[in-house]
Copies of this chain bind each other. A is one copy, B any other.
Amino acid sequence: MNTPESIKKTSSYHHGNLKESLLTTALEMVDKEGIDALTLRELTMRLGTSRSAVYRHFPSKEALILGVIEKGYERLDLLLTPIFQDKHSSVAERFDRMGREYLDFAIHHPTLYRLLFGDKYHREREELCDYKDENQATGLYALIGLLLEAQEQGIIAQANPMVQAAMVWASIHGLASLLIDGHLLMRENMEEIYVYSQSVLLNGLKRIPKDE
């Protein structure tokens, strides 16, 4: 039909776009009110449908949340990918911007971030494994490409880039987690910690330990 999808059908029985609306609204609820605020009753009430309508589109609440997670990854990728792909910036610049953007995402979307990188719900795809080529630039895989580039330019030492990426990611993820989970009461020192952290990382990656 020629009806734009943004316009609701006159039919009040069939929602018309329930699956997508469920995901979008659920993501919003998780992001703004926390994961505990996401109950099927509240979610469906906001969309004007009944609780069990969810089960026509998702086999369980968990499946719905997995959908939300997929959407969350897309949002994060949307922020990170342009930075990784900006060939006009130096490697060091991109490294810095990537870390800041990642931390900002976690700080501004703590519940969503925990959902993405927590343990309770998992999507199929895993991070930082089976890296094939640098065109596989999505999300954290792009970090491997960036590190390879850094190796070629002699900015950091040669080493298994997947191991390097795991180390770097773990550092930033750890910082993000401790921060948003309230274990580092140093919010005012955040800039100092971040800058110091990045410099330790880059300096540490620069030299391979020979002896000891």
Q: Chain A residues in contact with chain B, CB under 8 A?
A: 92, 110, 114, 117-119, 122, 126-129, 159-160, 162-164, 166-167, 169-175, 177-178, 180-186, 189, 192-193, 196-197, 199-209, 212
With beta carbons under 8 angstroms apart, the residue of B118, B166, B200, B206 that contacts A167 is: B200
Among all A-B residue pairs, the 6 with the closest Cβ atoms: A174-B174, A204-B204, A200-B204, A170-B174, A119-B181, A170-B175
With A192-B160, A200-B201 in contact, is A166–B181 under 8 Å at CB? Answer: no
Q: Is the CB of A189 within 8 A of B209?
A: no
Q: Is the CB of A182 within 8 A of B126?
A: yes
Cα separation A198 to B192 with both chains bound (whole Å):
22
Q: Is the CB of A201 within 8 A of B199?
A: no
Known: A117-B183, A167-B197, A202-B204. 18 other contacts (CB 8 A): A92-B212, A119-B180, A119-B182, A126-B182, A127-B183, A128-B183, A128-B184, A166-B178, A166-B184, A170-B175, A170-B197, A173-B178, A199-B204, A199-B208, A200-B205, A203-B203, A203-B206, A203-B207
Tell me the interface secondary structure of chain A in the complex.
helix
Task: Identify 22 residue pairs between A and B in the complex whose beta-carbon atoms are under 8 Å apart, listed by A's number.
Answer: A92-B212, A114-B119, A117-B181, A117-B183, A122-B182, A126-B184, A128-B186, A129-B184, A160-B192, A162-B186, A163-B193, A164-B196, A167-B196, A170-B177, A171-B171, A172-B174, A173-B174, A173-B178, A174-B175, A199-B208, A199-B209, A200-B205
Q: Is the CB of A170 within 8 A of B181?
A: no
A162 CB contacts on chain B under 8 angstroms = 186
Cα separation A114 to B174 with both chains bound (whole Å):
13
In the complex, how many angstroms separate the beta carbon of A150 from the nearest chain B beta carbon? 13
User: Which partner residue on chain B sits nearest A111 by CB separation?
Assistant: B119
Cα separation A209 to B198 with both chains bound (whole Å):
10
A203 CB contacts on chain B under 8 angstroms = 203-204, 206-207, 209
